[in-house]
Amino acid sequence: MRWQSWLVLVLLLCGGSWIIYKGLGARLPQADLRFGNMSEPQTLDPASMTGSPEGRIARALFDGLTLPNLNDLTRPLPGSAMSWKVSPDGKVYTFYIRENARWSNGAPVTADHFLFSWRRLLSPSIGSQYAELLWSVSNAQAFNQQLFGIATKTLSLRQSPSNKAAIVSKVSKGVILIRRDLGQKQIQSKTVTLLQNVDGKPVKGAVLSAGMLVDVLHKVEIGAAVWYRVRHRAKGEAVEGWLRSDSLFQRSKKIKAKKVEWWEVSLMKQKKVKGWVKRTSLGALDYTFPAKSKSKRLAAWKLVGMRALKVTKPLPKGYSVKALGRSLVFEVTLENPTAYFDQLASFYSLSPVYPPLVKRYPRSWVLPRHFVGNGPFKMTHWMINELVRVEKNPYYWNAKNMKLGSIHFMAVSERDTQLSMYLSRDLDIVTSVPLPSIDKLLKRKDFFSRLYLATYFYRFNVNVPPLNNKYVRQALAYAVNRESITKHILRAGQIPAFRLVPPGIQGYPLKGAPGPKFNPKKARALLRKAGYQSGAAIPPISLLYNTDQQHKQVAEALQTMWQKHLGIRVHLVNKEWKTYLDAVTQRNYQMARAGWIADYTDPNTFLSMFITGGGHNRTGWSNVRYDRYIKLAENERDPVKRMAHFRHAEKILMDELPIMPLYFYNYQNLIHPSIKGHVNNPLNIFDYRRLARVLNGK
């Protein structure tokens, strides 16, 4: 064998994917549209993706029940569902799947596929950060957080595992809510002071002594610590607060006696009826989706308010006789009316996946050799760190009206490179441009800078010093001159942000921004209040950002401000998109750059991120009052009162400052004049079904 052949073999073994992809890329035909998509996508699984680079590709590969209406985002368009209806109380949505909806392999799309996919999104084994989007569905949060199981025979609930005589209630073939490690516990430490939140002030008069019993209401893991929200009743009064798990122990040692596990439970529909049962008396906890229980016991996921139904007579409008008996009706029951639920149904995380494929290839189904989607395009190539190629799906229900035959989503992280490729006609659409070129680009007719429902902010890890001190976080926020950043660095009309929720959401009050404004004197006073006479007493703080010229320039500006006004040294840490996401998700940071684009046009898309235990919180912050206002807003049907609840929540967020808003985005698109059909919109969504390349006026 010649030495060249040996070299090729070695390279194939060591880095074959690179050679295969590069060689394949050289032979790919030119695409009808070349989209500058910034980073290499982390994943193309709708249940796992979280970023814009992934989301842009997902909208080409998948169709949700509804689709975004770029002319009016509050009124979504029919997608895989040709129509839907809402019950008078606003709690039941019935979606009618198109009779001609098809997967890219020609198989029909059914309601069962949406049922499978939404349950998969909620499954704890998937660990989706977007699972909370479906918490408004009946019992979905309980399923996602593994809070219930099933009883299929008559049970006797006892007051305690050791008291056989004291029967609370008898349950016959019903649903059981498992409280797990919640319920009644006993103080272990000599004295414990309840806190308003995990890093907040003590609750007045809430000092508990060893031996006192408390009711555990909620549990949250923050870093290595487990915190409980508890209630203690004494002399007819009740006090609530937070304490660490090491201040508690189980009341009865017989909870696991003689290898028998006892669980405190309550009836799902009668939560006031509580008692103890043997674990062996409960049905299987079917949380590992899509595995099914082999027994005849009812699976836990069947309690979630979602059903796939067959088409029956009389035929719903839009169906032919051939639809009879097919699973085309998807019914969703909500805990409370959710005004934006039809908008949620268009978000890419709620897109369906093809069950036979996902079951057979649980991890590799997203690769081109296996991929099946139900969107306007199908994936044909994925070249790592280069491009994702998609081609028109001939089975798509609206394929005849599509103009584009193929798209290349190009992974080009450098803004200068993107602009250069655009000017040399190697890219048709660019959504991130270099800052030094802004002044010239603003004069171009093919450059579009518009208000974006998106906020640029920094996260603080509130579990690590010195950022576990609220006053340090406040000092950092007051030492930042946001106007200087938007005017001298960004220069494209961005607005300084003193709150999280951006302007442009109908009905949300904007007056009286609650967040800290530039005030170096106050910043230094807050630092002293935190116990530091100067920033020099604080060890260097690390600031994490993902690779991008603009992120770097903003971080360097803040680094200078904090050194100048507070004497705090900040060390900048740059990571590529995937490793950056992993670090933030694992809370392996002190400060981290972040941005959030609205998933739908409602304050909830921003504020619900920071509820206790939320998948996108990633700060370790928890505040019971904040959680309560978000819950009140969720249950409120009066729009004025609902917005007031959100406003109260945002004020708490801007006082506690687990995050520091910096500015509201403007999207900045370069779109070549030959690309027609795009509609500018506050979410900067591209509808590839409507785009077309028009040359020479044709």
Is residue 519 one of the residues assigned to a domain? yes
- Please give the pLDDT value at position 241: 83
Is residue 441 one of the residues assigned to a domain? no
- Please give the pLDDT value at position 341: 95
CATH of the domain at 482: 3.10.105.10
C-beta of residue 457 within 8 angstroms of C-beta of residue 617: no
Beta strand 175-178 with 148-150 is: antiparallel
pLDDT at 478 over 60: yes
- Please state, in angstroms and rounded to a whole number, the distance separating the CA atoms of residues 68 and 558: 36
- Please give the pLDDT value at position 298: 58
Is residue 57 one of the residues assigned to a domain? no
Q: Find, among 428, 445, 432, the residue nearest to 692 by Cα.
A: 428
Is residue 203 one of the residues assigned to a domain? yes
CA distances from residue 417 to 148, 158, 388, 422, 594 in whole angstroms, order as listed: 52, 69, 18, 9, 23
C-beta of residue 33 within 8 angstroms of C-beta of residue 405: no
Structure tokens at 489: 């660095």
Q: What's 245's DSSP letter?
A: G
Confidence of residue 14 (pLDDT cuts 50, 70, 90): very low
Share of residues in the chain with pLDDT > 90 (%): 60
What would the pLDDT profile of 349-369 be if each residue is shown by its tens digit? Answer: 999 999 999 999 998 999 999
Give the chain's count of helices (H) and strands (E): 16, 33
Is residue 231 one of the residues assigned to a domain? yes
Mean pLDDT for 393-415 is 96
Q: DSSP alpha helices (H): ranges in 396-548?
A: 415-423, 438-441, 470-478, 482-484, 520-529
Give 70-84 as a DSSP string: TT-TTSPEESSEEEE
- H or E element in which residue 596 lies: strand 591-597
- Please state, in angstroms and rounded to a whole number, the distance separating the CA atoms of residues 145 and 160: 25
Structure tokens at 142: 């309980």
Of 284, 317, 347, which one is at a domain's C-terminal end? Answer: 284
- Please give the pLDDT value at position 255: 42
Cβ contacts of 682 within 8 Å, gap of 6 or more? 73, 450, 451, 452, 453, 504, 598, 601
Higher-confidence residue of 153 and 497: namely 497
- Please give the pLDDT value at position 269: 66
Confidence of residue 292 (pLDDT cuts 50, 70, 90): very low
- Please give the pLDDT value at position 25: 46
Rg (CA), the chain: 27
What would the pLDDT profile of 251-285 be if each residue is shown by its tens digit? Answer: 433 344 446 677 777 777 666 777 777 777 776 55
- Please give the pLDDT value at position 50: 86
- Please give the pLDDT value at position 415: 92
- Which residues span the domain enclosing 559? 451-667
What would the pLDDT profile of 51-60 be if each residue is shown by its tens digit? Answer: 899 999 999 9
Of 259, 284, 309, which one is at a domain's C-terminal end? Answer: 284
Give strand ranges (E) for 151-259: 155-158, 167-171, 175-178, 183-187, 191-195, 202-209, 213-222, 225-234, 237-244, 248-250, 256-257
Mean pLDDT for 141-162 is 75
User: In whole numbers, what is the pLDDT of the chain averaged over residues?
Assistant: 86
Mean pLDDT for 445-472 is 94
Confidence of residue 606 (pLDDT cuts 50, 70, 90): very high
What would the pLDDT profile of 59-94 be if each residue is shown by its tens digit? Answer: 999 999 999 999 999 999 999 999 999 999 999 999
- Please state, in angstroms and rounded to a whole number, the distance separating the CA atoms of residues 481 and 463: 26
- H or E element in which residue 635 lies: helix 624-635
Confidence of residue 578 (pLDDT cuts 50, 70, 90): confident
Is residue 26 one of the residues assigned to a domain? no
Mean pLDDT for 103-126 is 94
**Angle in degrees, CA 66, 68, 72, rounded to 5:** 125
Q: What is the pTM of this model?
A: 0.80
Is residue 42 one of the residues assigned to a domain? no
- Please give the pLDDT value at position 275: 79
Mean pLDDT for 419-435 is 95
- Please give the pLDDT value at position 226: 74
What would the pLDDT profile of 203-236 be if each residue is shown by its tens digit? Answer: 887 888 877 888 777 777 665 667 787 888 776 6
Is residue 433 one of the residues assigned to a domain? no
- Please give the pLDDT value at position 284: 56
- Please state, in angstroms and rounded to a whole number, the distance separating the CA atoms of residues 492 and 442: 8
Higher-confidence residue of 672 and 205: namely 672
Confidence of residue 18 (pLDDT cuts 50, 70, 90): very low
Best-predicted range by mean pLDDT (180-184, 479-483, 549-553, 665-669)? 479-483
Count: domains in the chain? 2
pLDDT at 1 over 70: no
